[in-house]
A and B are shown apart, each in its own frame.
Chain A
Amino acid sequence: MKKIIAASLCLATITPAWAESTAELKQQIEQLKKDNAAQIQALESRIEAAENNAVSQPATSTTAKQNSFNPAISLILNGSYSSYSQNPDDYTLPGFALGTEAGLEKEGFSLGESEITLSANTDQHWRGQMTLSFADDSGETSTEVEEAYIETLGLDNGLTVRAGRFFSGVGYLNGKHAHAWNFNDAPLLYRGLFGNQIKQDGLRLNWALPTDQYIELGLEAGNGQNFPAGGSHGGLGDWAAFIKTGGDIGDSASWQLGLSHYQADNIDGRKATTHSFSGDSKMNGLDVVYKWSPNGNDTERSLVLQSEYFQRDENGTVTATGVGSSSIDTNQKGWYAEGIYKFKPHWRTGLRYDRLTSNNTGDNTATLQQVGLLDEGHDPHRSSAMLEWIPSEFSRIRLQVNHDNSTRDSDNQVILQYTQALGSHGAHQF
C-alpha cells in the first residue's frame, strides 16, 4: 500500500513536468503551424507570381539595330518553259494593236518576269512602295520600274491618295501583279486593249464610302505616256474612274463587281508593233468575281469564278512607215471568263476562255489591213487549262495549256512555270 502511495506520489511529482512538456509541444506545434502557414502562403504567392509571370508579357528590351528601319523586301522569282506549235514571233491579234509589251513569252526556257518589291512607312503620313522587274529582252536583261508610288496613311473619311507610278485600278486583274494571276499569260482582252496591263504615272484618289455595303470609288489622272495612251502631254494625258462594290453571301461565299472607264484624248504617236496611232481612245468595262469555299475555309476546297468585259472606241489616224496612213474609227470588244477550283489542299486547277471582236473602219482599208487592224473575218479566241501545285503560301508550280486561235492558224501552247515569293509575307488580296 505504502508502495502504491509512494508510486502515486512519484507520479504526482512527475505529472507537472509531463504536463509542462505537452504545453511546450503544443506551443511548438502552434509555432510550426504558424511558420508553415506563413511559408505556405509565401509559396502560394510565389506560385501565383510565377503563374502570372508565365502568362504575362515580359518587359521587352528591344535593341534598335542599324537596319531596323529598312523597308520590307519581297522578292518574286518567276521562270517558265514555253513550247508553241507556231512561231511566237509571228504572233498577231487581227483587229487589235499589240502594244510593245504585249506578245508571247519567248520559246524554251525563260526568266519570265522576276521582281523585287520594297515597302515601308515613310513617316506618320505616308508609306512608299517600289517594284522593280527584271525581264529578258532578246538576250539582254532589262530592268523596269514596274511601280513606284507613295500613298497616304490613314487620311480619314475613307480617303487614300496615291502618287507615282502604279497599275491602274480599272478592271479586276489590272491592279494585281502578273504573278498573282491565275494563268501565266494575260487575258487576250488585256493583251489587245491594255497592252498587257495599264500603268499610270500620276495620281489616284480612292474613296471608300461609309456604307454597310462596300463601295469604293477611284479616280486616276495620268501623264498619258503608257499604252493605251501615248506621246508626251504637258498636263493631263489620260484619266480613269472606277467603282467597286461587293459583299458576302453567307459564311461561304463573297463577290465583287466593278465598273471602269478609261479615257485618253489627244494621244500623240502611240507605238504599237506595226504602226503608230494618234487620236482619242476611250474604254468602258465590267468585272465580276465570285469566290466560294465550304464555311469560308479555303484550305481544303475553294472555287473562284471571274469574268471581265471591256469595250474600246478609238478615233484618229494610223501611220506606218513605208505603208501609209489611214483614218480609223474602232469598235473593239473583248471578254474572258475563268474558273479555278481547289480540289484538295495545295492543288488547284482552272479553265479560261477568251474572245475578242472588232469592227474597225477607216479611209484607207489597205493600210489598216497591212498593219493588222482589220479582223479579216476572224474573232481571236483562246481556251486555256491549268494545274497548280502550291506546296506553301510562298511557292507554286503551274502547268498551263492553251489552244490559241488568236489568228486563223491555231497554236497549241504548253507553259510550265514556277513562282516563288521570298521575304516579307505576301498579301491575301481579294
Chain B
Amino acid sequence: MNIIIKTTLILSTLAISTQAMAKVNIFACEPEWAALAKEIGGNHIKVKSATTGLQDPHHIQARPSLLARARRADMLVCTGAELEVGWLPILLQKTGNPKIQPGQPGYFMATRAVRLLDIPSKLDRSQGDVHAAGNPHIQTDPRRIAKVAKALSTRLSQIDPSHAADYAKNYNDFNQRWTKAMQGWQQQAKALRGKSIVVQHKSWVYLEDWLGLKEIATLELKPGVPATTSHLSKVMGLAKSQHASAIIYVAYQSPKSANWLASKSGVTAIKLPFTVSGTPKANDLFSLFDDTITRLTQVIK
C-alpha cells in the first residue's frame, strides 16, 4: 500500500515536472524567425528553422523531415504573405496538426504584425512572381522586426501562459537592446541615405525604406523572371546615368548577373546575408544587421 502511494506520488511529481519542463516546440519557416523566437522564448521554447540562409524560402519542397517536424509543432512562426505558399499548406494538410492550422494561436505569420509595401494594384502573372498581400521580405527592416517581436511575445504568452512574465521580460530586454542597436546602425548608415542602388530581386524594399536607399533598377526583368541581355544593358545605362553606388544581391542568389553588371559598369556588387546564417558572420539578428551595415558602408561612402 505504502509502495503504491509512494509510486503514485513519484509518478505524479514526475508528470508535473515534465509538464513544467515541456518546451513550446516552434516550427520556424525562416532563420530570422527562429532567431527571434530564441530571443523572446528564451529557454521555454525549442525552435528549428525549415530553411537556411542559403535557401530561397519560396522554392523549397514539403520534404519528409519537415512533415515530421510540423507534426510535432506547437507553433508556427513564419513570414506569411504567400512566401511559403508552395509548401506550408501541404505540411498543414498532411500532418493534420490542429495546433498550427490557420486561425489557431499556433499559426503566427510575421507579416500580419507590420505594414507591407509593394502591394500590387493588379494581379497578373505576366508581371512575374507577384505576391497579392505585398512584398514578404520584411526581415530587412529592424523596425519591423521590433513590431514582430512584440506580437510574438504576446502570442507566446497566449500559447504558454505559465511563462507569460518571462516572455514579457525577454521582450522588454530584447527591445531595449534592439532599440539601442538600431540607433547605432542608423548612425553608421547615415551616409547611405539617398544613395542609388541596383538590386537583383525585389528583396530589399524594407531595407531601402529604413535606410533611405533609392532603388533605381532590378537585375531581374520582373520578379522571378531572369534578366535578358537587352534588360541588363538598360540597367547598365541606368546605373551609369543615375550614379548607382552598389549592386545588391542575396546570399542564396546566383551572383552572375550582379558580377556581370559590376564588371561592365564599375559599380561594386555586394552580397548581403538577407537573413541569419546567410553569411558566416550573421549568427543572430544583431550580427545580421552588423554584417549588413558593414558590408554596405564599406562600399557606399
Contact = CB atoms under 8 A, between A and B. Distances in A.
Contacts of A152: 96
Given A345-B226, A345-B254, A57 B114 contact: yes
B96 A208 contact: yes
B113 interface: yes
B62 A154 contact: no
B89 interface: yes
A304 to B, nearest CB: 10
A428 to B, nearest CB: 4
A5 interface: no
B93 A214 contact: no
A33 interface: no
- Place the interface of chain A in its size category: 35 or more
Interface string B55-76: 1100111111101100110000
Interface string A138-163: 00000000000001111110111000
Contacts of B115: 53-58
B252 interface: yes
A392 to B, nearest CB: 7
Interface in A334-359: 345-346
A254 B141 contact: no
A55 B63 contact: no
A428 B62 contact: yes
A211 B55 contact: no
Given A55-B115, A159-B96, A297 B54 contact: yes
B101 interface: yes
A206 B254 contact: no
B209 A393 contact: no
B68 to A, nearest CB: 4
Contacts of A345: 226, 254
A298 B141 CA distance: 27
A247 B101 CA distance: 23
A296 interface: yes
Specify which of A53, A254, A297, A300 lies most central, judged by the most chain B CB atoms within 10 Å of its CB: A297
A244 interface: yes
Contacts of A255: 64
A392 B93 CA distance: 25
B184 interface: no
A55 B112 contact: no
A208 B94 contact: yes
Nearest to B112: A57
Contacts of B252: 295, 297, 299
Nearest to B52: A251
Contacts of B224: 392-393
Contacts of A428: 59-62, 86-87, 90
Contacts of A214: 64-65, 67-68, 71
A234 interface: no
A158 B96 contact: yes
B152 to A, nearest CB: 14
A160 B96 contact: yes
B276 to A, nearest CB: 14
B71 A254 contact: no
A251 B55 CA distance: 9
A301 to B, nearest CB: 10
B55 A296 contact: yes
A267 to B, nearest CB: 31
B97 interface: yes
B144 A55 contact: yes
Contacts of A245: 64
Contacts of A393: 86, 129, 224
A430 B63 contact: yes
A138 B206 CA distance: 56
A212 B68 contact: yes
A120 to B, nearest CB: 12
B143 interface: yes
B68 A56 contact: no
B64 A247 contact: yes
B55 A56 contact: no
Interface string A46-64: 0000010111111000000
Minimum-distance CB pairs A-B, first 5: A246-B64, A154-B98, A214-B68, A214-B64, A428-B86
Interface of A: 51, 53-58, 127, 151-156, 158-160, 206, 208-216, 244-248, 251, 254-256, 291, 295-300, 345-346, 391-394, 425-430
